[in-house]
Amino acid sequence: MRMKASLIALALSPARYCPKHSFPRMATTTIDTPEYLLYPSPRNEHRVVFEHQCFVLYPYEIIHLPDFDFEGRATLFTARRKADGKNGQLVTCELETDILRFERLFDPE
């Protein structure tokens, strides 16, 4: 019982690494905003939460930001919406035209 509990603690601890079990460290820390708890994508070129945002309720959908040909900078986060506890992804853009383009072109099916 103690062994199992210690393995679970290692798996949940972001600051430790166990070579025997290959539990990697988390790439980045979370960002806590009034609306969301955000987990940055390691592929983000920028580490900024921009003003123009779109939350999508597809936590496992692959969103490849370069495919949208944004004019400005954009970031992607795995997100938990605090208002209702729903999980999804948050796309944030520097320019309003880019977020409107994302909303128009994003099709999860």
What whole-number distance in Å separates Cα of residue 2 and Cα of residue 24?
22
Share above pLDDT 70 across residues of the chain, in percent, rounded to a whole number: 74
**Is the overall model pTM greater than 0.85, yes or no?**
no
- Beta carbons within 10 angstroms of residue 26's beta carbon: 12
pLDDT band at 46 (very low <50, low <70, confident <90, very high): confident
The identity of residue 64, as a single letter, is H
Is the pLDDT at 99 greater than 90? The verdict is: yes
Alpha helices in the chain (DSSP H): 2-12, 96-105
